[in-house]
Structure 1
Amino acid sequence: MPCGAITYSERTMADKYERMLELLAQTDDWVTASELADDLGVTTRSVRSYVAAAKTAAQPLPIVIASTSGYRLNREAYGEFLDRARTRGDIAGTPQERVHHLVRRLTELDDGIDVFALADTLFVSESTLEADLRKVKTIADTAGASLERAGSRVRLIGTEGSRRRLLSSLLQAESSRGVIDLDALENEFGLTALGAFKAELMQALEADGFFVNEYGVDAVLLHIAIAVDRARRDQHLSDANVHPDPQHVAVVDVLRRLTHEHYGVELNAADLEYLARLLVTRVVAPGNRAAETPAIDPDDRDTVDRIVTQVLDEYSVDFRDDAFMTRFAIHLGNLVARARDNARSRNPLTRSIKSSYPLIFDIAVFIASIVQRERDITVDDDEISYIALHLGSHLERASRREQRVTCSIVCPSYYDLHQILRKKVEEELGDQLTIEYVVTRSDVDPRDLASELVITTVPTGAVREGVVVVQPFLTDDDIDAIRQAASRARRQRRRAGIADELLEYFDERLFFATPPGDDPESIIRGLGAALVEVGAADEAYVEGALERERMSSTAFTETLAVPHAMGLTANRTAIALALCPNPVTWGDARVSVVAFIAFSADGRARFQPLFDQFVNVFAARRDVAGLARDSGDFAGFIANLARLIDES
């Protein structure tokens, strides 16, 4: 990003190629010009010009690698390019950088800034800076602050709390994929060894008996960095209405000690109580000591009781477990506190949870809708993902036994060798395998054994999937081979049960070679009308799908949208599908396939694997683009889909 005066066209080009670099940074795979063009909404010719502009801006660093497979980011060179830009202090290169600069200046200067003078300093026109100020105003409004204008002078009006929320919102919005960069925080606020501070903070909290959720630590470190920076300027939260929570005492003591030891600042009672509340509601959970178990708000427990009942009714998934409900009631209280404080908790796993576990995410959306309605708050995708983590961890524990692979051991009898082998297999792989038979003959044919996996010490030429030949005394390589074979067996079991079943729900009357609309709502209504016409759903289900879409985008991968209502209320399960040869903007994604799924209460056991498998098939961008491009009719679509399922 060059210093000095730049033209409007140069600024526009910088915006474009930086967006392209962000897309390349999201994958380690090659990305074709066509794929980038679809995501950016431009032509492949424009993509090539963006690549050229990025290479010119980064010279001599080779930040983009080109080949016949497409483009890929050279991460090492790109990191050096960003470091070099930060070191130079290129603040006027892009609109995002100017907005960042404006927010920092406005939060630091009580008397505000002069728009005309700042435009000259940044080498931009006054109209450009006015456009940047409008963006700042939007962020400030969300944080509870406002901009006051007097002639050419603009200043920020708001409490110390609103100024900190403004800084937090800005920096979290700039973070990559929801992950806070500690090096960037150090540079931003002139701090040192923030990583060491983090390690010592976690160690101290764990020593005090807390469980630490590391996914939320970096977001709280952002608030700690802001508090230290403001305290250095003698800008503190007001002590006037501070009511210390007795359950925060240990956390407050840790924060007071570490901020003083590391950064030489004295945070006041309000600063410390605020940071402690963030840690308690985002990062730490009470440990096993009874004295540290917080009192659960009766309203939170009542809400969880209703949620569990409604989820059982709507999805036939049972969360009636005292330990889970207690943990979730604590989480619910913290979630509501964050929402009312307007303290967003970013979740770096949001995208992967949404694409990898769509049913769990969908139940989390259903729960979030109940919480929103009952508590009059807004629950965003990051918070929904934290709910999904609670649900998924409980379901994972409950399903481990069901997911075990059946196994037979073939080990000819020689003293107690077969018993030693069985014991070793159970010790190393007992959570993955259920041993059905131990065969002590050497003449058994593995093809005669019905178990999914056969572990044998006898070399065999019999052709059968799932046979693992091992040493009589298991080696590490043997254990790895068995583990891999068990993983393949689980995958094959799942595919065998889903592939044929998936195709049962497609109907030529519900297939659209092109989308029946040009935006999510019109496409949902068009596909919904087809489902209503064949009797799979009614108008109420279609309206329910639209309501679900407004809660959270159903673009579960970068290429696939799966609109549906939140309950299993369709007349029968069916899928109305539209191919989009020209990708359609759907939330933050551009999708090539839209599958409106009507889910009924019948066949609940098949619901989750069907839903998960369907989404997983469409995870590969290149395969989906080919499916949308090459499937001109229903027969072609079914043939291509069957191939993708087989190869997935």
Structure 2
Amino acid sequence: MGQIKITARQKKILIRLCSEYKYVTISSIAKKLSISSRTVLRGLKDIDLWIESYGCSLEKKAGIGIRLKGSVEARKDILKDLEKGKEVKSYSPKERQIMILGELLQNNEPVKLFVFTKMLNVTEGTVSHDLDKVEEWLKDYSLNLVRKPGLGVYMEGQESEIRKAIANLIYENINEAQLLDLIRENLSTEVNTRERLLNLIEKDTIRKLETLIFEHEEALDYRLTDNAYIGLLVHLALAIQRIKKNEKISMDKTYLKELKGYGEFEIAANLAEKISKVFNIEIPEQETGYITMHLRGSKGFESKGENTVLEALAKEMLQVAEVETGSFLEYDVQSLTGLINHLEPAINRLKMNMDIRNPLLQEIKEHYSELFMLAAKCIVPIENYLGMKLPDSEIAYIAMHLGAALERTPSGRKKVFKAAVSCTTGMGTSALLAARIEKEYDNIQVVEIISSLHVKESRLIDKGVDFIISTVPIEAVLLPVVVVNPLLFDKDKDKLQALIKQLKNNPETNVKAQNNTIDLKEKLSRLNIYAEGILQVLNNFFLYDYLSFSTMEEVIEEISSKLSTDKENSLQIQKDLIAREEKGSTVLSGFGAALLHCKTSGVKKLHFGAVRINEELYSLNTENDYEQIKLAIIMIAPEHCHKPHIEIMSLLSSKLMEEPDFLVSLQEGLEKEVYKKLNNYLEEFYNMNIN
């Protein structure tokens, strides 16, 4: 590589040129990278010098464009070195300000200006201007930015406001789908600013906390919404780091006493005690109070009197919508119930002065401004009841529910395909998306709304679900998944139409269920099928170690030969696995693993196992980026197998996501250890189906 360094922006330009063999225009490069043509032209000189050592050059033709002149091997070498090499990173003003905030919020001591100039590759004057913007942002949290010559820059303010600022800095720049990926450890941190923000919440801490929260959630008589679940995770992760730095939070004594009167306080205290032991820190009572608030943030009202008031308020809101739109909504039971179910926890959060986040706020304001203005009129009864103004984020949630109510069409239309809708917020996104889907498509019936954190595929199959419509990617499921924007734009409709067409052309791929009541004889027959499938998985389990493979196709070829000694069957397995790969990546992003699965006539029984790969193997993930694979998980079922057998394989795929220890065992554990876990999961599954 040449002595000259290229910036991240120049790197992107060069990647584009290496990927094209024909001439490309400066304006097309600029448009693709969202920069000016002038910026592209300025970067070409350094790029031309940088590629000289590879025997390459830039060939320019007036009126036609520019292209990289060099061999295929040289292009590959450039791309490889770009992947491994370092570059001088250039940041936008917003990126710089985010990074400065991240440093200041997690540092107790003053930070010298030269730290920022070195980190951001800018002058002190630029840093000083960025600090002015940072100071404005901090004022929303009553935090003061102190600048002392010779000493540095630091913040002053209450601990509760510092934590709120850190949390909101994360939420403003990392959406909930990305936070969900962090929880699953799927996140690919390409952007340096995002990576720095994620450093504010340690992955190991998140992983341990998730286990603890899941254990204690069982004690609640209601489920945490995904929104509240993520909020609690982030709050606890930040609290642990702040406590380790001897930063303690305060709470009004009267309010703390009130929180102690709720059942959630005891659960919060037990959770705090476990956290103390796991992280070897002391959790003060005030922290327990804040945990209680998060737990109650998903809860509805506790008295019948409050629920009666809420029902009256919801009806009053729908009456306002009727007057404004001319639609008859008050006695739409589905709209009324959905609105009440949303308002109960929302009002609890507002009463506790907790933030309400809505990741779709800007999109709703931009694309559904009339609906947002309607919601702003409808929330007046709630504002009068609470004696406070509702934030825009809550108004946007009300807009979602009103949109769902207005778009809901009379029942009785023919539904051809059954779908499950999955979302991350759990507070209204699903209602709007489901209503829009059922209005747009007379052949789609939404039969289930599910959490993307807890996908129970066997339940969906039992309900006859044909596919899942999700706002975030869901991996390791057998049912088809189409990822759409919650507001269902035109490009999302195209995706749905393509899937429907595919299912129509291949009706045998639909997993249909019969929900009829079954008699004893049929139940026993079904249990026998479950037992047969479980025995097949246990008897055919395998775990192989290999030094290396060059491609995923080599892995498939090797496994196919292991699964059947019959050459014809082996080739059929290989063909079906490759056909599944061609439909889309099976890489489990962030786990260093791929899930190779298919139904094939090459086997007569279920097969489950894994292949460990010692040396590097790279495969394209769902984002079309190369990702290192160290483990290939294999799930094979006969082409025409029983539905309960598909449920068994679905269970195992879900365990890969739900039980981190299972994946770790497959990657590192002894074969006996993996077999024991497999045995326990299947035994639990069988016992559940007996009852």
Task: Give the TM bin, normalised by the shorter chain.
Answer: 0.3 to 0.5
What's the TM-score once normalised by structure 2's chain length? 0.43
TM-score under structure 1 length normalisation: 0.45
